[in-house]
A and B are shown apart, each in its own frame.
Chain A
Amino acid sequence: MSFETSDVYFLKKVFSILITGIVIKIMDDYFDQDIDALEKQPNIYMAMEYGGLPYTLLLFSLAFMLDPITALSLFFSSFAIGMVGHLTVKMPSGLYGYHESIIVVLLGFVLLKLEMLSSLFIVMVIQLWDDYLDYEKDRMNKYNLAFQLGKVECLLLAVILFLLTAYFDYIKAIASIIAMHVIVYIIRLLPDNQKPI
């Protein structure tokens, strides 16, 4: 059995998406560590203790080595979408959330062109799907999109954006959804002693 160039490209892209997904999850957990400690939710960043930053940089370097355009576009998109809940908050850079969001999206479009668009769409899909699943839990959370838009609207919007991602790049669309579930499974595997007390 021999691998062709397209198989290698496919595998590199899939693993790059998976590893970037883990990096994004760690970044998300870094911001949520106080809330997760209060709610006793598993948190990868806290489980890694002081190793969080070096491991994250190492993982992102690996993802970048496998497929630089995919890794970078997904990271830029998650950064821009992650700011949406904090648009009017002043960031440590001195800029507001929406400034940073717009700058990152523009930079992404200039550097990565259409790849950035498909990445933005798939990150939105994951955000909408996550909010849809957390609807009951986050009922009173005004940042939950399922609560703001409505449950069915949230689901339909996620389906539309998924189809648009598949139109631009079907490997990214399918691999990202699989990666999301793999990451959720990995978090469940965290041993009890690594979960916050």
Chain B
Amino acid sequence: MPFDKITLIAALAITVCLFGYALGRRVGKQEGIKEGMSILPLEWRRQLNETSVCPLCSLRLNQHKNCDNIHSRD
């Protein structure tokens, strides 16, 4: 097989790979973001229950300084 044909076929094959990779990466990224967003509230709740520290503002539970009182358990 002549050299120019080999280079052309290789270029075509890598182009197909590139499209597959680029598309898969972008779709996977979006799926990952959605999945992460759905897990995040549960993960924060778990951290809050285990450590009694708010993962968002780092305040400890049952403190009167708590600005919005949403974490108070009185």
Q: Which of A156, A160, A170 contacts B3 (CB 8 A)?
A: A170
Within 8 A of B (CB), among A59-107: none
Contacts of A166 in B (CB 8 A): 7
The total of chain A residues at the interface (CB under 8 A) is 13
Q: Contacts A150-B22, A153-B21, A170-B3 given: A160-B15 contact, CB under 8 Å? A: yes
Contacts of B8 in A (CB 8 A): 163-164, 167
* CB of A197 closer than 8 Å to a CB of B: no
**Interface SS, B side:** helix
CA distance A73 to B25 in the complex (A): 36
- B10 in contact with A163 (CB, 8 Å): yes
Q: Contacts A156-B17, A170-B3 given: A164-B22 contact, CB under 8 Å? A: no
CA distance A159 to B16 in the complex (A): 13
CA distance A127 to B69 in the complex (A): 55
Within 8 A of A (CB), among B1-37: 3-4, 7-8, 10-11, 14-15, 17-18, 21-22, 25
* CB of A53 closer than 8 Å to a CB of B: no
CA distance A170 to B7 in the complex (A): 10
- A159 in contact with B14 (CB, 8 Å): yes
- B11 in contact with A156 (CB, 8 Å): no
* CB of A126 closer than 8 Å to a CB of B: no
- B14 in contact with A160 (CB, 8 Å): yes
Q: Which of B14, B17, B21, B25 contacts A163 (CB 8 A)?
A: B14
- A150 in contact with B18 (CB, 8 Å): no
Within 8 A of B (CB), among A156-197: 156-157, 159-160, 163-164, 166-167, 170
Contacts of A152 in B (CB 8 A): 21, 25
B contact set with A: CB distance below 8 Å: 3-4, 7-8, 10-11, 14-15, 17-18, 21-22, 25
Q: List 7 A-B contacts (CB under 8 A).
A: A153-B21, A156-B18, A160-B18, A163-B14, A164-B11, A167-B4, A170-B3
